[in-house]
Chain A
Amino acid sequence: MSVTPAPAADEPYLRVRDLRVQFPTEDGLVRAVDGVSFSVRRGQTLGIVGESGSGKSVTSMSILGLHNAARTKISGEISIGGRDIVGMDDEKIREMRGQDMAMVFQDPLSALHPYYKVGVQIAEAYKVHHPQASKAEANKRAVEMLDRVGIPQPERRAKQYPHEFSGGMRQRAMIAMALVNDPALLIADEPTTALDVTVQAQILDLLEDLQREFNSAIIVITHDLGVVAQIADDVLVMYAGRAIETGSVEQVMRSPQHPYTWGLLASVPSLHGDAEIDLVPIKGNPPSLINLPTGCAFNPRCRYAGLNGNRSFVEVPELRPAGQDGHHVACHLSGADRRRIYLEDIAHAGVAQ
């Protein structure tokens, strides 16, 4: 439908630059996303990691243009296939939604409409972007997609309601619905969180297969580093609306640089590490996005915040190169300090093996 200006072959399909998303509320301005930049190429997967309230879901909602313009202030650039959707006309974004970028949500039971048959819901997603398609064509396409995402007896299943599906099947159906228009960008917001562990791996495998087939750019939003390790090429760690560490999966998982990333890794149980060592939770709670701590937002929870005098308490750290190419971290600790602390305090816990 919409004519996409063909981006140069090496151009990322999605480019987000200095994205800021703010919600004015009665209690004050919520800075949900505060200056985040990243990009994803077709065929690549970016994992966005963070706790609840870190701004990862708000970021994904902005990429789909789903925020209510009247209640949200968005600035920066979100370029999808060469078109910046920040400030774009609602109707134009709607035409792109589901066609150029699509989304898979966390809980497929609540994300699918309980009153409509699964096939109908998928066909509807197809029809809205293919108005010339007949009802029969749309239904046929829905069945094809159900088959493609590994749902047995797709024709029978298409005529069932979401509550008649199991959790894993529902998420497959959700993925089928998101991919029915061959979007170049797929955002999966906690796609496996609501599923059984055994089903999680299947869903991730499916996403990888489909990515190979459709050459799509994928963003996986998760708090689960295991998911990132399995599926992502690059990682963006978010904290309090900011990117605090970015790099390839290899870099971030093997040589994490930010104390918060250490905390995330240390709170993942490992089969290979020393079984006697307890999981180390990150103490404290995520900060209020209305009233962020001054300086580094992580400072109240950081054991090493005092190592640089009061810098962590007054100056917001910027993302800086952290050694290897493409690896960036926003931390006031010096590279040498980070290396030393990591070796002394963190590495022995057996994380990220």
Chain B
Amino acid sequence: MVRFVIRRLLLAVTTLFAISVITFLLFFAVPSSPATVMCGKQCSPEQIAQTEHRLGIDKPIVEQYGTFVKGIFVGRVIGEGDFIRECPAPCLGYSFRTDEPVTDILGRTIPVTVSIVFGAAVMWLVIGVSLGMTSALKRGTVFDRFAIGVSLVGASLQVYFFGLVLLLVFVYSTGLLPTPSYTPFTENPGKWALGLLLPWITLGFLNSALYARLSRAQMLETLSEDYVRTARAKGLTKRKVYIRHALRAAITPIITIAGLDIGASLGGTVITESIFGLQGLGRTAVKAVGDLNLPIVLATVLVAAAFIVFANIIVDMLYAVVDPRVRLG
């Protein structure tokens, strides 16, 4: 187990390194310069050159990359003359636009996305998995048909449609819920939950549709397994057969997929954040790409990649815990 974790962590570092290099190269492959975007069309070439110099993007790419990596591990000093910023490790640079440390921006936006994703994940796992399992046990009944119908609708809906309908109904027409907003959990848990309720329902419902179908299929497959027949042949009660024997086995692949889904969502739920006006990681990343705001683009890409890489490691470890046949080595 320990060897496995060490090996996977080394692999993760390599992956993140490769991703940062690729992002850097891609950024400089874009034909327009951040300086042009920042000061607009009326800028003279001298002004642009000056801005580029101030941002530090006039240096060779390799040198810039070296500075970036050095900043992460030992910190660095940004700017020159009367524009000097101390940037302690782990330094991800300053935003080209707002002159704010990228780490601060991440610190502000990651909790928003994390809150959205975890709330939604709880919803989709609880609703989706219980709906799917129940409909597998009641296969062919009205309940099953209804559940399949609902999940088909859910799977065909899109966040930007369903989310807007919810906003229209619950906020603008009836005023039952406040406009979605983010309040830190530590400040006021009630307000935190209330402000994120709509994004949770939106993401939660749409994903639970998928999870309902997935868990129904898993459960049906497991129910036809020989060991479930054995459990029944032993004379175990239905409850024990379904929960201890069938569900236990059916849940394993769902854990895997949920882990990866959550990891990928943590990198940013762009559409959900945009629709509900929440300043999360996804929206920040998209805006940074439009602004050619290199430090933020780099940071958000790396954070998203790190979430996915670590979700993978955690899922693999969970797998070994759940299934005794899996040995990590």
Query: Which residues of the other chain, A, contact B25 by a CB distance below 8 angstroms?
Result: none
Closest 7 CB pairs of A and B: A98-B235, A97-B235, A110-B226, A125-B234, A113-B227, A98-B234, A111-B226
Task: From the candidates A110, A111, A129, name the one contacting B235 in the complex (CB within 8 A).
Answer: A129
Of A101-109, A267-275, A287-295, which binds chain B? A101-109
B interface footprint on A199-226 (CB within 8 Å = 1, 0 otherwise): 0000000000000000000000000000
Query: Which residues of the other chain, A, contact B249 by a CB distance below 8 angstroms?
Result: 113-115
Q: Is the CB of B245 within 8 A of A113?
A: yes
Q: Tell yes or no: A233 within 8 A of B by CB.
A: no
In the assembly, what is the distance between CA of A66 and CA of B232, in Å?
7
Q: Tell yes or no: A140 within 8 A of B by CB.
A: no
Q: Number of B interface residues, CB 8 Å?
A: 20
Number of chain A interface residues as a range: 20 to 34
Q: Is the CB of B229 within 8 A of A96?
A: no
In the assembly, what is the distance between CA of A66 and CA of B226, in Å?
12
Q: Tell yes or no: B323 within 8 A of A by CB.
A: yes
Q: A113-B245, A161-B324 are in contact. Are A102 and B233 (CB under 8 A)?
A: yes
Question: Which A-chain residue is minimally distant from B325 (CB atoms)?
Answer: A163
Task: From the candidates B229, B236, B240, name the one contacting A105 in the complex (CB within 8 A).
Answer: B229
In the assembly, what is the distance between CA of A97 and CA of B237, in Å?
11
In the assembly, what is the distance between CA of A206 and CA of B39, in Å?
89
Q: Tell yes or no: A112 within 8 A of B by CB.
A: yes
13 A-B pairs whose Cβ atoms sit less than 8 Å apart in the complex: A66-B232, A102-B234, A105-B226, A107-B226, A110-B225, A110-B226, A112-B227, A113-B231, A115-B322, A115-B324, A128-B235, A128-B237, A161-B325
Question: Which B-chain residue is minimally distant from A96 (CB atoms)?
Answer: B235
Q: Tell yes or no: B230 within 8 A of A by CB.
A: yes
Q: Is the CB of A97 within 8 A of B227?
A: no
Query: Which residues of the other chain, A, contact B233 by a CB distance below 8 angstroms?
Result: 64, 66, 97-98, 102-103, 105
B-side residues, CB < 8 A to A, are 225-227, 229-237, 240, 245, 248-249, 322-325
> In the complex, how many angstroms separate the beta carbon of B218 from the nearest chain A beta carbon?
14
Q: Which of A206-254 contact B (CB under 8 A)?
A: none
> In the complex, how many angstroms separate the beta carbon of A183 from the nearest chain B beta carbon?
10
Task: From the candidates B227, B229, B324, name the one contacting A66 in the complex (CB within 8 A).
Answer: B229
Query: Which residues of the other chain, A, contact B231 by a CB distance below 8 angstroms?
Result: 113
Task: From the candidates B230, B232, B235, B240, name the one contacting A112 in the complex (CB within 8 A).
Answer: B230
Query: Which residues of the other chain, B, contact A94 by a CB distance below 8 angstroms?
Result: 235-237
Q: Tell yes or no: A54 within 8 A of B by CB.
A: no
Task: From the candidates A114, A128, A163, name the one contacting B227 in the complex (CB within 8 A).
Answer: A114
Q: Is the CB of B248 within 8 A of A115?
A: yes
In the assembly, what is the distance between CA of A213 and CA of B245, in Å?
32
Question: Which A-chain residue is minimally distant from B225 (CB atoms)?
Answer: A110
In the assembly, what is the distance between CA of A161 and CA of B43, in Å?
73
Query: Which residues of the other chain, B, contact A98 by a CB distance below 8 angstroms?
Result: 233-236
Query: Which residues of the other chain, A, contact B232 by a CB distance below 8 angstroms?
Result: 66, 97
